[in-house]
Amino acid sequence: MPAISERARLVPPSPIRKLVPYANAAKARGKKVLHLNIGQPDLPTPPEFWEAIQSAGIQVLDYTDSAGMPAFREAYARFYTEVYGIPLESKHFLTTTGGSEALLFAFLTLFSPEDELIVIEPTYANYIGMGWATGVILRPVQSHIEDDFALPAPEVLESAITPRTRGILLCNPSNPTGKLYSEVEVRKIAEICSRHGLYLISDESYRDYCYDGQKFFSALEINGAEEFVVVVDTLSKRYSACGARVGALISRNTTIIDTALKWAQARLAPPTLGQIGGMALLSLPKSHYDYVRDTFQKRRDTLIEGLSSIPGVKVATVQGAFYLMPQLPVADSDAFAQWMLESFDVDGTTVMVAPGTGFFSEPERGKTLVRIAYVLDVPLLEQAVEILRAALNIYAREEVPVL
């Protein structure tokens, strides 16, 4: 047969999903698996979503405009203006098939192959995949659990800039660390971008998840940064509607939106039902966001308290998203995560986590880290902590080699 392409051979599998076959095998053997590996909120999708689809009375499920339904984009702009206090118009929104496609379009529109993009590690694993897909080279700058994954100093960020650097990609709050970058930090990054003629891609998928009374500051709020700020957004996490596959590429620079539209045309249209239901979600009252945030803040508290009480586990203090990236007393988080699925349970239940290796360009850096998504209710999180405690107790003593 002809060869598989080099990029397809080299792109790593998702650290969040690569252990799925082991989880499926465990379930087939009758084991219960608590899924902390994937950022899929467990809250019910608001009923308004289903009511909107029902009442639309669709006869022909047709394509929408490539940029999304005009009414959907208007609802998105109104949502940003009224709920977030960021005045935007529908021309600033390109509707995408989830935040993932917004990233793809941003990479294709802003960067040429071999261009460099600075990311802060640990980083969202799929940025690495999108880099491979588009030929964009990710230049990692490290953040550290010892500093609660604080923003690297400006001089460290600037030292990563080369003649091929075209942008900085910030995930705020961060997937996978949960770090919430402050207004001061976001402005610092924008200043660097401005000074060096770089784009700032701000992935704000988790902006509704900010705890301890912290206010989220969007890159869209910076005066003077309109030309170079591009925001990646999604309805997935905000409304527990990951399967709707609807998000947006947002920029006040309409040249970017209008140019990205050509990529959008090449894939025809985003999902129609996600947009119809999504319009109703974007009109939910503010109480929705308070409820979601309060629910997840309790979970974070539970998880940090529980994990911190396990000997040898180190946890950062973080205030955003619904992820934690603890350091475990293991030498190989991939082997440990696989062992949890294959060989360990407490009364028939085990826990699935995402190994840290996939959140770094150099996987070695993540060997002792795992990503935990706190997308289960408090009692289940408490159970998950006890299972992890028991597992680490055995594993640390035996360091069971896998395979």
CB of 53 to its own copies, least distance (A): 8
Closer to its own copies at the Cβ: 46 or 329? 46
Nearer to its own copies, 141 or 281 (CB): 281
Using alpha carbons, select from 5, 4, 14 the residue that is nearest to residue 355: 14
Q: Which is nearer to its own copies, 260 or 384 (CB)?
A: 260
Among 65, 191, 386, 399, binds its own copies (CB under 8 A): 65
Interaction residues for its own copies, span 358-387 (CB under 8 A): none
- Least separation in angstroms between residue 257's CB and its own copies is 11
56 belongs to the binding site for its own copies (CB under 8 A): no
Short-list 271, 249, 311, CA closest to 103: 249
Binding mask 158-187 for its own copies (x = CB under 8 A): --------xx--------------------
Going through 56-194 in order, the beta strands assigned E by DSSP cover 93-96, 116-121, 137-142, 165-171
Q: How far is the CB of 1 from its own copies (least distance, A)?
A: 4
Contact range with its own copies by CB under 8 A, out of 126-134, 288-296, 318-326, 344-352: 126-134
Question: Cα 292 to the chain's mean position, in Å?
Answer: 17
DSSP structural state of residue 292: H
Contact status: 60 vs its own copies (CB under 8 A)? yes
CB of 151 to its own copies, least distance (A): 22
Tokens at 356, concatenated = 């840290």
Closest CB to its own copies among residues 50, 291 = 50
Q: How far is the CB of 271 from its own copies (least distance, A)?
A: 4
Q: Which of residues 184-213 bind its own copies (CB under 8 A)?
A: 197-199
**What span, in angstroms and rounded, lies between the C-alpha atoms of 87 and 79?**
9
Site for its own copies contains 110 (CB under 8 A)? yes
Q: Which residues contact 97 (CB under 8 A, 6 or more apart)?
A: 245, 246, 247, 267, 270, 271
Residues 74-103 that bind its own copies (CB under 8 A): 97-98, 100-101
* SS3 category, 43: coil
134 with 113: CB under 8 angstroms? yes
With beta carbons less than 8 A apart as the criterion, state whether 88 and 81 touch: yes
Q: How many angstroms separate the CA atoms of 270 and 231, rounded?
A: 18
User: Among 130-138, 147-155, 214-222, 287-295, which window interacts with its own copies (CB under 8 A)?
Assistant: 130-138
Stretch that binds its own copies, among 82-90, 110-118, 176-184, 288-296 (CB under 8 A): 110-118
Closest CA to 36 of 381, 349, 395: 381
Beta partners for residue 323, in sequence order: 373
How far out from the chain centre does Cα 382 lie?
24
Nearer to its own copies, 299 or 307 (CB): 299
In the list 90, 109, 123, 368, the residue contacting its own copies (rule: CB under 8 A) is 109
Q: What values do phi and psi take at 184, rounded to 5? A: -60, -45
List the x/- string, 286-305, binding to its own copies by CB under 8 A.
Answer: --------------------
Of 155, 158, 146, nearest to 118 (Cα)? 158
Quick one: 4 or 184, whose CB is closer to its own copies?
A: 4
Q: Does 356 bind its own copies (CB under 8 A)?
A: no
Tell me which residues in 4-43 interact with its own copies (CB under 8 A): 4-9, 11-14, 16-18, 20, 38, 40-43
Asked whether position 142 contacts its own copies by CB under 8 A, the answer is no
Per-residue string for binding with its own copies, 213-252, x by CB under 8 A?
Answer: --------------xx-----------xxxxxx-------
* Binder of its own copies out of 33, 104, 220, 376 (CB under 8 A): 104
Chosen residue from 112, 214, 254, 317 binding its own copies by CB under 8 A: 112
Q: Please name the helix (run of DSSP H) or strand (run of DSSP E) that holds residue 250, with its range, or none.
A: strand 247-250
Query: What residues contact 258, with CB distance under 8 A and at least 6 apart?
Result: none
Q: Near its own copies by CB under 8 A, which window of 106-114, 168-176, 305-313, 361-369? A: 106-114
Look at residue 60 and give its three-state secondary structure.
coil
Asked if residue 354 lies in contact with residue 337, where contact means CB atoms within 8 angstroms, the answer is yes
Which of 243, 273, 246 minimizes the C-alpha distance to 55? 273
**Residue entry with tokens 């990692």:** 140
